[in-house]
C-alpha cells in the first residue's frame, strides 16, 4: 500500500487535472453551440448548390467545362480535414482511418495518391506515409472560420484539376449528426459530373425537374461552377468544426468523470492507510505501556 504522502500527492495531481478537463469541457460546449448553428444554417445552401450541379450536369452541355471533365483516374487527390490539437476523442482517428483505407485501395489499383491536409494531425499522418506526395498543409480555421479562409485550398484543388495534374478529388471530413454522434465521411469533390449519387441523397430527388438557364447554360456554368464546388468544401469545414467541438466536449466530460472516480478510489485508499497507521501507533503505544509494567 502506498504511503499517505504519495496518495495525497496523487489526489492533488488528479484534482488539478480535473479542473483543466472541466474547463475544457465548458469551453468546448460554448464553442459547439456556435459551430452547430453555423453548420445547420448552411446545409440548405449546400443542398441547393448540389441540386444546381445536378441540373447543370443533366443539361448535357457541361462536358466541355474543366470541372465536369471525366478522365481515367491515374492520379487521385485526397483532401483530409483534421484538427491542430488532440484531446478530441476519435475525431482525427476516424477520418484518418477512412483515408488510410482509400490510400491502400489506390495502391492496389495502381493509382498515384496525393494528399492535401488541413490541420497538424493530418500532416503528421501524411508525413509517415511512403510513396504518397503531400502537396500542401493548411492550418485549421479556428473557431470562427470565414469563406476566405478556404479560398487557397479551393484554388489549389481547381488549378491542379484543370491543369490535369490530378484526375479525381475526394474529400474526407466528419459529419455532425448530433452532439453525441459524428461520422467520418468521404465525398466526391471533382469531377463535378461524378457526384450524382451524393447529390440525390442530399437533395432527396431522383429525377431532374425542367429547368431553363439565362442567358444560357454555358454562361451559367462558367460563372457558378467554382462557387458550387466551394459550397461543398465550405460545408465540410463547418461540419468538421462542429464535430470536433462535440467530440472534445464528450472526451473532456468522460475525463472529468474518470478523475472524480479516481479521486474517490484514492481517498478511500488514503483513509485506509491512515487508519492502518493509527492502529499501528496505538498498538505500539500499548506495547510500550505493557513493556514498562
pTM comes to 0.81
Note the helical H segments in the chain.
Answer: 4-59, 91-109, 120-127, 151-162, 196-203, 217-292
CA atoms within 13 A on the CB side of 142: 7
Q: What is the pLDDT of residue 96?
A: 92
First to last CA, the chain: 34
Q: Is 103 within a domain? A: yes
What would the mean pLDDT of 95-122 be, rounded to a whole number?
90
Window from 45-59, 77-91, 256-270 with minimum mean pLDDT = 45-59
> How far is Cα 290 from Cα 293, in angstroms, rounded to an integer?
5
Residue 235 lies in a domain: yes
Mean pLDDT of 13-18: 91
Q: What is the mean pLDDT of residues 155-166?
A: 88
Q: Of all residues in the chain, what percent carry a pLDDT higher than 70?
A: 85
* Top-confidence residue, 246 or 209: 246
242 pLDDT higher than 70: yes
Residue 207: pLDDT above 70?
A: no
Q: What is the pLDDT of residue 286?
A: 78
Residue 258 inside a domain? The answer is no
- The pLDDT-based confidence of 58 (bands split at 50, 70, 90) is low
Residue 184 is assigned to a structural domain of this protein: yes
Residues 121/83, Cβ–Cβ less than 8 Å: yes
Looking at residue 162, its pLDDT comes to: 86
Q: What pLDDT score was predicted for residue 6?
A: 86
The distance from CA 117 to its chain's CA centroid, rounded to whole angstroms, is: 11
- What pLDDT, on the 0 to 100 scale, is given for residue 129? 86
Tell me how many domains the chain contains.
1
> What was the pLDDT predicted at 164?
87
Q: What is the pLDDT of residue 116?
A: 92
Residue 274 has pLDDT above 90, yes or no: no
User: Would you say residue 238 lies in a domain?
Assistant: yes
Round the average pLDDT of the chain to a whole number and report it: 82
Residue 195: what pLDDT? 59
User: What is the reported pLDDT for 23?
Assistant: 92
Domain with 177 in it:
26-249
Looking up residue 57, the CATH number of its domain turns out to be 3.40.1380.10
Summarised one tens digit per residue, pLDDT across range 114-154 is: 999 998 888 889 888 888 888 988 886 777 778 788 888 88
If we measure between CA atoms, which residue out of 118, 111, 116 comes closest to residue 76? 111
Higher pLDDT, 31 or 224: 31
In this prediction, what percent of the chain has a pLDDT beyond 90?
24
Write out the H or E segment, with its range, that includes residue 80.
strand 75-81
Amino acid at each position: 500500500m502506498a504511503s499517505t504522502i504519495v496518495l495525497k500527492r496523487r489526489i492533488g495531481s488528479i484534482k488539478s487535472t480535473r479542473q483543466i478537463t472541466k474547463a475544457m469541457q465548458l469551453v468546448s460546449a460554448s464553442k459547439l453551440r456556435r459551430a452547430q448553428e453555423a453548420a445547420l444554417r448552411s446545409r440548405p445552401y449546400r443542398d441547393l448548390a448540389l441540386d444546381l450541379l445536378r441540373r447543370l450536369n443533366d443539361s448535357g452541355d457541361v462536358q466541355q467545362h474543366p470541372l465536369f471533365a471525366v478522365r481515367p483516374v491515374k492520379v487521385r487527390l485526397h483532401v483530409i480535414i483534421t484538427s491542430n490539437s488532440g484531446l478530441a476523442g476519435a475525431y482525427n482517428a476516424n477520418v484518418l482511418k477512412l483515408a488510410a483505407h482509400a490510400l491502400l485501395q489506390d495502391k492496389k489499383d495502381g493509382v498515384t495518391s496525393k494528399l492535401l491536409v488541413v490541420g497538424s494531425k493530418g500532416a503528421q499522418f501524411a508525413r509517415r506515409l511512403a510513396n504518397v506526395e503531400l502537396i500542401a498543409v493548411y492550418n485549421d480555421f479556428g473557431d470562427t472560420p470565414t469563406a476566405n479562409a478556404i479560398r487557397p485550398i479551393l484554388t489549389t484543388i481547381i488549378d491542379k484539376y484543370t491543369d490535369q495534374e490530378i484526375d479525381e478529388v475526394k474529400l474526407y471530413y466528419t459529419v455532425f449528426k448530433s452532439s453525441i454522434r459524428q461520422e467520418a465521411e468521404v465525398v466526391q469533390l471533382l469531377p463535378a459530373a461524378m457526384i450524382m449519387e451524393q447529390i440525390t441523397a442530399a437533395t432527396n430527388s431522383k429525377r431532374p425537374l425542367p429547368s431553363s438557364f439565362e442567358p444560357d447554360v454555358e454562361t451559367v456554368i462558367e460563372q457558378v461552377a467554382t462557387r458550387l464546388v466551394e459550397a461543398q468544401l465550405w460545408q465540410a469545414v463547418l461540419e468538421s468544426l462542429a464535430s470536433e467541438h462535440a467530440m472534445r466536449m464528450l472526451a473532456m466530460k468522460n475525463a472529468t468523470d474518470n478523475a472524480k472516480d479516481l479521486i474517490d478510489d484514492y481517498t478511500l485508499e488514503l483513509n485506509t492507510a491512515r487508519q492502518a497507521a493509527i492502529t499501528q501507533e496505538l498498538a505500539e503505544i500499548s506495547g510500550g505501556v505493557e513493556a514498562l509494567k
